[in-house]
Structure 1
Amino acid sequence: MRISLNWLRELVDLTMTPTQLADTLTMAGFEVEDIEDRRTWADGVVVGKIVEIQPHPNADKLRVCTVDVGAASPLNIVCGASNARADIYVPVATVGTYLPAVELKIKPAKLRGVPSAGMICSLAELGLAKESAGIHIFELENPQLGSDARSLLGLDDVILDLTSTANRADALSMVGVAREVAALTGATLRLPEVGSVSIPEGSAGLNVRISERQACPAYIGTVIEKVKIAPSPAWLQQRLQAAGVRPINNVVDVTNYILLEWGQPLHAFDRDRLQQIAGGDTLTIGVRFANGGESLKTLDGQTRTLQPQNLLITANDKPVALAGVMGGEETEVYQGTENLVLEAALFDPVAIRRSARSQNLRTEASGRYERGVNQAELAVACQRAIALLTQFASGTPVAQEVADTRPDPSAWMRSIELRLDRINQVLGPVELGDATGEIQPEDVQRILTALGCEVSLVTGEGRQGSPNSQSPIPNSQSPVWMVKVPPYRYRDLEREIDLIEEIARLYGYDNFCDTLPDKTEPGYLSSDQMLTRKLREALRGAGLTEVMHYSYSVAKTEDDREVAIANPMFAEYSSLRTELVSALINAFQYNLEQGNGSLNAFEIGRVFWREEDGLIEADSVAGIIGGDPTQGTWTRGGALQPMTWFEAKGVLESLFARLGMPVEYQPDRRDPRLHPGRTASLWLQGDRLGTFGQLHPQMRQQRGLPDAVYVFEMDLDVVLDYLDRDENLIPVFKPFSTFPGANRDLALFASTKISVAEIKRAIASAGGALLESVELFDEYRGQNVPEGQRSLALRLVYRASDRTLTDEDVEPVHQKIREALVEKFSVSLRS
C-alpha cells in the first residue's frame, strides 16, 4: 500500500524523517519497498498568471504568453497548449528547474525565433498523470504569484510503498498504519472525525434480504438522494493520486477514499438504474451465490459467465455486482446520477477468495476482504462516507436498511492469558545498556497498551487488577496478564505466542542478544546421506543421468494400494506415486518426441502406498536404459542397433561392481509392463533388492519406443543396509597374485529351466579356494541340441597366490565341479 506522509501526519504526530520511518516500519515487519520523494518532482515550479497571450509570428500552433510570476518583470514563454488563455493561474517551471518526469532541465531558448524563458506545465510534465490534454489550470482566487506550487499540486509529499504480511489486514488502511506508527513511536493517535448525519426512519422502498448469512454476516444499504456529480475537491484527488488511485467523480472518489482511510470497501449504485433492472415499485437488495447460466457485465466492460462459487449482489434477485469484488456496469454511477444506494458490507474471506479466483479477477476491495475486514468499524466507515457524500456531493440520506447477523460485539474482544515466564523463555535475553537481562513487566504492559489491548494483571489468588494496570508486581511470583485484543486485530492475535511476537516486534529485534551457543560442532553428513551420494556417483559412473519428478501421479482405479490426494492441484497429480518407473518411461518418451534421443537416466526418490496397518513410505532408486549404446552409426550405414539384454545387464553389473554388491538374478513375471521372458528379480544375500527387465513389446509399440528399453527399480533401504555394514564400509585390500592362472572351458547341455546363476553357484561351491572366476561366454539353442535344453560354454579360471598351478592341482577340482553339476542338475557334459 502507498502511504502519503502528509495524510499520515494528520492521523499521528510524526517527527521522523521519511528514511527513519521507513527503517522503523521495516524492522517492525512492514517492508518499505520504495520511498517516493515527490518534493523533487517540481522543485522550482511556481504559481504564475498568464497576463497576455499573442499569436506566434512564425508558427500557427504556438502562442506567446506573458506570464507574471511575482518577479520585477513578467516572463515571456512560448506555449503550444490549446487551453492556454489570459487571466488564468498556472504552474510555471522557471529557468534552472529540472523536471524528472520528462527528464528536462529548463533553459532560456528561442522557439521559431521568439525567446522563451520557462515552461507552463501540464500534469503529465509534473509526473501526476500519464497524459494531459493541455496545461494545468489552478482553480484559485488571488494566489500569491511566485509562491511554491508544490503544495497546491500535492507535490510537497513523500510516499512510502509499504508491503504488509497476509495476517495484517489492518495495515491496508491509513488508520491501521497510523495505529502501528503510534505504537512504534509512542506518538499521539488522532482518528478521523466521522461526523454525524441524521437519517430519517423508513425504508424509502428499500429492503435488504441476505440469503447467505455466513458469506455475508452484515449489510448496510443507505439511500442518498439529490446528489450532484462533480469533480472531487483538489485535496481528495491528490490523496487518491498519491495512493495510486485515479480520481473519477465525487461519489466514486469518496468510496475509494474510505477504502484507503479505514480499509472498508464500499460501493455506490445508481438507485434509478437499480430500480430499472429490478422492476416493480420496491427494491430488495439481496446476497446469494450465482446460479448456472447467469452472467454479469462488470465495471471493466467484460461480460462474465458466473460460477456457483460467485457471491452476488442482486436487485430483486437479478445480479448487479460481484459481491466484494467489482460492481456491475449497468448500475454504475455516471454523470447523470441523482440518487444512490450506498453499500457497506462484511463478506466472508473464503467466499470472496473463491469468487475472485474463479473469475481470475483481483481488486483492491477483494484483496481486503480476503484478508479480513475489521467488522467492528463497519458502521463507522459507512457513517464517514455518508458525511463526505453529504458534504461534497450535496446528497441527502433518506433511508437506511441494515441486515446484521453478527454475534454480540463483546465476542470481537478476544481474551488471551499471557505469562512473563513464557515471554522470556521464547524471546531470550535482551540488551539492557552494557548488560543483558530479561524483558521487564512494565515493558510488556507498555507495548500491549500501545497496540490498543486492554491489559489486566492477574495475581496469584486469581484476582484481577484494573485494565492497563501499572501497579507494582510482586517479586515472589512471575506475573500473568489477561489481554483483551482490539477488534481490528481479532483475526491476527489468537494465541499467547501471537502476543509474544508483537512484544518482540515493538521491543525491537535489534535489542535482542545474538550470542551463539557455548559449544558448537561442524555439521556432517549422516551415514545414509554419504552412502546415497556414493550410490549416485556409481550410477553416474555407469553412464546414467539423474532426473527428478514430482511425487504425484495419475490415479489408477485398479490400484487399491494407492494414496489419493484430497485436494490435488491437477488431475494428473491426484495421487502419490507408488513407484518411480512410470515417470521414467514418460520422460524417455518425451525426450524421443523432442528429438533428444534415448534417455539413460536414474532417479532416487520416495514412494508411498497403503496397507492394512496404514500409510507407508520408503525410498527407492530406479533407472531406464535404451537406444543404441554405441556412439555414431556410420559403420552400419545409419542403422540403429538395439541394446541387447546383456548390454543392459552389463550396465547394472558395472554399478554393482563399483559398490561391491553380489547381486543375483532370478526369473520374474509379476510386472505386466515388462517382457515375461526377459525380466529378473534382483536378490542381495537373500533379500529381495528389486526388479530388472525389458519393457513389454506391447507397451513399446503403444509408446513409440525403440526395440529394446530396459528398466530397473531397487529398494534403497536394502542397498543402504548392505553398504552400511562394517565389512563393506571399509574396503580390505587383497593383493594380486603374481602367478599365472589356469583356464579351463566347460561345455554342457542343461535344461532351459535351470538358470545360469544356479549353475554358477554350484560351480563356485564345488570349486573352493582355487576357483577364481566363472564366466559364461556362449549359449546356443537349435540344431543338434536336445529339445528343452540349451548348450552352455563357461570359462573357469583357477589361480593360487603362492605357486603356479599344475594339471595335478587343477584336474581334481575341475572333475569335482563336473560331477557336482551332473549330480545336481543332470546336465550332459560335452567337454
Structure 2
Amino acid sequence: MNIPISYQWLKSHFEKDLPAPGTGARQANIPSPEEVSALFMQHLCEVEGVEQRGGDTIFDLKIMPDRGHDLLAHRGIAREISVLSGMPMKSAEAKKKSAPRDITTLRVSVADMKLCPRYMGRVVENVKVGESPAWLRERLESVGGRSINNIVDITNYVMLELGQPMHVFDRGKLVREKDGAVEIVVRNAKQNETITTLDGKEIVLSPETLVIADSARPLAIAGIKGGKDVGVDETTTAIVLEAANFSAVNTRKTSARVGIRTDSSRRFEHDLSPMLAEEAMTLATELLLEMCPDAQMGKVVDVYPLPKERKEIIITTADINGILGSKLSDDEVEGVLKRLSFEYHKDGEMFVVTPPAIRLDLVIVEDMVEEIGRVYGYDKIIDAPLPALAFNARPLKAYYSANMIRDVLVAQGFSEVYTYSFQNTGEFAVVNPVAEDKGFLRKDLGTGIGQALVLNMRNAPLLGLDEIKIFEIGKVFPGVMEEKLSCAIGVEFIKATKKKDALVRTALEEAQKVLSETLGVPVAGVFTGNIFEFDLGALLEKLPEINVREEFHAVTARYQKPSAYPFVLRDIALWVPDGVTSDEVLAVISADAGNLLRTKRLFDVFTKEFPEGKKTSYAFSLVFQSNDKTLSDDEVNGIMERITTALHAHTEWQVR
C-alpha cells in the first residue's frame, strides 16, 4: 500500500534541535529529506516518489503488507527514523485531561468477537463544531486530505498519525432508549437493509456485511464508511466517538462486496493491533479538549473480552549468525534490541524478546532475525564464500536408470501414465482411504495399466490413434511391509484382427529387447495378455554404478540456432536378420546421410518367419533440413540413394 508521508509532520515527533555527540553543538532534529529517503530505501521500504509541496517534502512510500500493522501512519515512520538514525523521539507531553462525567449512558454490544475483537466508545457532550486550527488543516492538506470540521478532522488526523481509523456519530441523531441511553450494536446486517453513506451512495446490505447500528438502523459499514444520517454537522453538540478493531479478512470481503475502498478499510485490511484503539481514543480525547475546552467527557466503554497476549520469541546470537551469515556479537544484538525499544531479558545465551503489541509481523525466530538484520544493515554483513561440499555428489542410480528407461520407451512410441496407488480391491486395506473405491494398496502396476488401456481405447478415435502404447514406473506393495519399484508396459491395437494378439506380443517383446540392449542386462518379467511387467528394483541391483564424469561431463552442449528453412520428410523400411538391432541400422543411416539429417525415429517394428529364418522389419522416419537453403527433392533423393546403397552393402539387409 502506498501512503504519503510529510517530512514536516515527521519532524514534529523530534526535539527542534539536539546536541551533536561529543561537540555540544546543536544539530538538526532529524536527517535531511535526502538522508531520510536513503534510510528508507536501505532499511525499510521503497520510496516511489519525493515531491516538494509548499515548504514541505512529501514522500510516497510503498509499505509492504507485513508492515501494514504499524507503518501506515506518521508515528510509525517516525519511530523507524529514530531506530535507524539513533535520534530519540520527543517525550510525550502531558495533555489536559477531563475527568469522565456521568452524562449520557452508552451501551455497546458485539455479536461476533471474531469480526470485531475490540470496540471502544465514548460520549462527548458540549462540543462546538467549527473550523480546525491552522496546524491541523495544514497537516491534513499536506498529505492530500481536506479539512471538513474540527471534529471530523480530529478522527482523520488520528488515523494518519497512529494508523488507527476512527469514526464519530452525532449523538443527537441516534435513537435513545427509554432510559435515555444510547445503544451501539455491532452486528451483521439484515437481508436488504439499506444505508446511505456519507458521500450519498445508497447501499443495499446483505447478512455477510458487518455494521455499526443503533436499535433502529445501521449507522455505518464497519471499518469502511459511515452513514450520512448520523454524520456530524454544524448543528452537532454531542457526539459518540468510536475506536474499534475489525477483522482484516471480513473488511476486505465487505469492501469488495459493496464496492467501496477507503483509507480506513485499507488499514483494517492489513490487520491492526487492538491496542491501537486505546491509543487512538486517548489522542482523540486530548485533541477534542484542546479544541473544545468546555467539552464534557463520558466514560469510555471498552468491549474487549479476549485481549491478545504478547508472545515471547527466544533467539540466540548463534541463530542470528547462522541465518544471516553474519558475525554479530551478543553486545551488537543487544544494541539493536535497545534501538528498537523491544522488551527483552537474557537467559544464558538466549534473548527472550517480547515484541510490541503493534508488531504483529514478529511471530517466529526468523521474523526476529530478519528484523535485527534489517536494522543492523545487510550492507554491513561481509560476503563469505560458500563452504565446499564435504562429499562427492553422486547421481541416484534409480532416478538415472528410470529416466533412461523412459527415454527408451518414449523413443519406441510409448507414453508414460500415472495410475492410482490405491485400488478398490486388494489384500492390504488403507486406514484412511482417499475415496470409497480406493481403499487398498496396489500389488502390481498391471491392473492400473489395463484400466488405462481401456480408457484410452475409448478415446482413440478422438485422438486419431491406431494403437495405444503406454507404460508406468511406480511403487507396488506385494506383501506385508513390502515395497517394490516396478515397471509395466501395455499395448493395444484399435483394429481387431486375427493377428492382433501376435502383434501385441511382438511389440512388447521388441520393447523388452530394446530395454535389455540399452541397459546392458537382460530385462526379465511377466507377460500377461497385452501387458509386460518387470521388477525394476531387482533390475537396478544388476546395473553398474554410474560414472558421473564420463556420463555428464564428456559432452559439451552448444546452442544451435533453429533453421528458418522448411524440412523434408522421408520414410525407409528394411528387413534384417533376427538379432540385428535398430541402433545398428541407425548407425549406418546416420553415417551416410550427412549433416542434413536432423532427426531419425523408429516408428514400426515387427518380426516374421521366412524359409531362410526369422527376420525383423524396421521402419524409420527421417527428417532433412538445411541451415542455408530450401532443400530440393533431387538433393534429398540423392541422400536417400546413398543410404540405400550403404544398407545394401550388408548382404542380408533388404530395403523394402
Which TM-score bucket, shorter chain as reference? 0.5 to 0.7
Q: CA deviation at 1:309?
A: 2.4
Query: Matched residue pairs, number?
Result: 481
In structure 2, what is the Cα distance between the partners aligned to 1:180 and 1:264? 18
Aligned: 1:313 with 2:219: no
Aligned partner letter, 1:482:
V
Match of 2:311 in 1: 414
Distance 1:345 1:691, change over 3 A: farther
Q: Secondary structure at the match of 1:296?
A: strand
> What does residue 682 of structure 1 align with?
468
Letter in 2 for 1:302: K
Q: Which residue in 2 is equivalent to 1:734?
A: 587
The CA distance in 1 between the partners of 2:612 and 2:209, in whole Å, is: 80
Task: Answer yes or no: is the 8 Å Cα contact 1:215–1:348 preserved in 2.
Answer: yes
Contact 1:770 / 1:799 at 8 angstroms: preserved in 2?
no
**Structure 2 equivalent of residue 240 of structure 1:** 140
Match of 2:320 among 423, 427, 450: 423
Residue 761 of structure 1 deviates from its aligned partner by: 3.8
Q: Is the contact between residue 255 and residue 268 of structure 1 (CA under 8 Å) also seen in structure 2?
A: yes
Query: Does the alignment pair 1:323 with 2:222?
Result: yes
CA distance in 2 between partners of 1:185 and 1:614 (Å): 64
Distance 2:651 2:135 in 1: 108
1:17 aligns with 2:17: no
Match of 1:161 in 2: 60
Matched, 1:182 2:67: no
Distance 1:771 1:724 in 2: 16
**CA-to-partner distance for each residue in 1:552-596, whole Å, 9 max, x for gaps?**
xxxxxxxx9xxxxxxxxxxxxxxxxxxxxxxxxxxxxxxxxxxxx
C-alpha contact 1:352 1:370 (8 A) present in aligned 2 = yes
One of 309, 326, 329 as aligned partner of 1:440: 329
Asked if residue 385 in structure 1 is aligned to residue 238 in structure 2, the reply is: no
Shift of 1:508: 0.3
- Cα 1:296–1:201, aligned 2, differ >3 Å: closer, same or farther? same
Q: CA deviation at 1:363?
A: 1.6
Distance 1:483 1:531 in 2: 54
Greater gyration radius: 1
Cα deviation for residue 444 of structure 1 reads 0.8
Query: Contact between 2:129 and 2:236, CA under 8 Å: does it hold in 1?
Result: yes
| Counterparts of 1:185 and 1:321, CA distance in 2 | 42
Relative to 1, partners in 2 of residues 1:37 and 1:504: Cα closer, same or farther, differing over 3 Å?
same
Residue in structure 1 matched with residue 115 of structure 2 by the alignment: 215
1:158-307 map, 5 Å: 158-168=57-67, 169-190=69-90, 192-193=92-93, 195-202=95-102, 204-275=104-175, 281-307=180-206
After TM superposition, give the deviation of residue 611 of structure 1 in Å. 4.7
Which residue is 2:350 aligned to? 480
Identity %: 28
Structure having greater relative contact order (Cα 8 Å, sep ≥ 6): 2
Other-structure match for 1:507: 376
Q: Which amino acid aligns with 1:413?
A: R
- The offset of 1:722, in angstroms, is 7.2
Distance 1:360 1:765 in 2: 81
**Equivalent-residue separation in structure 1 for 2:436 and 2:41 (angstroms):** 46
- For residue 455 of structure 1, what is the aligned residue in structure 2? 344
Which of 7, 10, 16 is the aligned partner of 2:9?
7
Structure 1 partner of 2:234: 335
Instruction: Describe the shift of the 1:677–1:401 C-alpha distance in structure 2 as closer, same or farther (beyond 3 A).
Output: closer
List aligned pairs for 1:720-799, cutoff 5 A: 733-735=586-588, 761=606, 763=608, 772=617
Question: 1:325-383 CA distances to partner (integer Å, 9 max, x unpaired)?
Answer: 11112111223322211111122323323322322322211222222323334223212
Report if aligned partners of 1:207, 1:401 keep a CA contact under 8 Å in 2. Answer: no
Deviation, structure 1 residue 284: 0.7
Provide, for residues 724-756 of structure 1, a one-character-per-residue CA deviation record: whole Å limited to 9, x for no partner.
9568x9966532599xxxxxxxxxxxxxxxxxx
Identify if the C-alpha distance between structure 1 residues 248 and 691 changes in structure 2 by more than 3 Å, giving closer, same or farther. farther
CA distance in 1, matches of 2:382, 2:355: 29
C-alpha distance in 1, partners of 2:205/2:134?
39
Q: What do the CA deviations read for 1:154-182 (whole angstroms, capped 9, x no partner)?
A: x2111111122212111111111111111
1:673 and 1:761, CA in 2 relative to 1: closer, same or farther beyond 3 A?
A: closer
* Contact 2:249/2:269 (<8 A) preserved: yes
Unpaired stretches in structure 2, ≥5 consecutive residues = 16-28, 412-423, 425-434, 443-451, 472-486, 496-510, 521-550, 556-582, 592-602, 621-643
RMSD across aligned C-alpha pairs, in angstroms? 4.9
Question: Aligned partner of 1:175: which letter?
Answer: R
Question: 2:255 maps to which residue?
Answer: 356
Deviates more, 1:375-384 or 1:450-459: 375-384
Change (3 A) 1:519 1:275: same
Q: Deviations over 1:482-510 (max 9, x none)?
A: 11222222x12112221111110011011
Contact 1:220 1:400 in 2 (8 A): no
CA contact (8 A) 1:290 1:312 kept: yes
Contact 2:172-2:238 within 8 A present in 1 as well: yes
CA deviation vs aligned residue, 1:76-107 (integer Å, no higher than 9, x gap): xxxxxxxxxxxxxxxxxxxxxxxxxxxxxxxx
CA distance in 2, matches of 1:318, 1:288: 11
The residue aligned with 2:529 is none
Is the Cα–Cα contact under 8 Å of residues 32 and 162 in structure 1 kept in the other structure?
yes
Question: In structure 2, what is the Cα distance between the partners aligned to 1:202 and 1:417?
Answer: 47
1:550 matched to which residue of 2?
none
Can you list the C-alpha shifts for 1:259-301, whole angstroms capped at 9, x where unaligned?
011111110111122238x899442101011222222222232
CA distance change for structure 1 residues 532 and 773 in 2, over 3 Å: closer, same or farther? closer
Measured in 1, the distance between the counterparts of 2:114 and 2:356 equals 23
Q: Distance in 2 between matches of 1:533 and 1:264?
A: 61
CA distance in 1, matches of 2:517, 2:370: 45
Q: 1:503 is aligned with what amino acid? A: I
SS of aligned partner of 1:3:
strand
Q: Is the 8 A contact 1:251 1:393 kept in 2?
A: no
CA separation in 1, counterparts of 2:517 and 2:170? Answer: 78
Conserved 8 A contact 1:194-1:384: no
1:499 counterpart letter in structure 2:
M
Amino acid at match of 2:279: V
Shift of 1:681: 4.6
Letter in 2 for 1:19: E
1:787 is matched with none
Residue 763 of structure 1: how far off its partner (Å): 2.6
Unpaired runs of 5+ in structure 1?
39-154, 430-437, 460-478, 539-559, 561-607, 616-665, 695-717, 739-756, 776-796, 815-831
Q: Which residue does the alignment assign to 1:35? A: 50
3-state SS of the aligned residue for 1:170?
A: coil
Q: CA deviation at 1:675?
A: 4.4
Please show how residues 466-477 of structure 1 align to structure 2 within 5 Å.
Answer: none
Contact 1:11 1:192 in 2 (8 A): no
Question: Secondary structure of 1:487's match?
Answer: coil
Greater share of helix residues, 1 or 2? 2
- Report the TM-score, using the length of structure 2 for normalisation: 0.63
In the TM superposition, 1:491-640 aligns within 5 A as 491-517=360-386, 611-612=438-439
Q: How far did 1:322 drift?
A: 0.7
**Preserved CA contact (<8 Å) 1:222 1:401:** yes
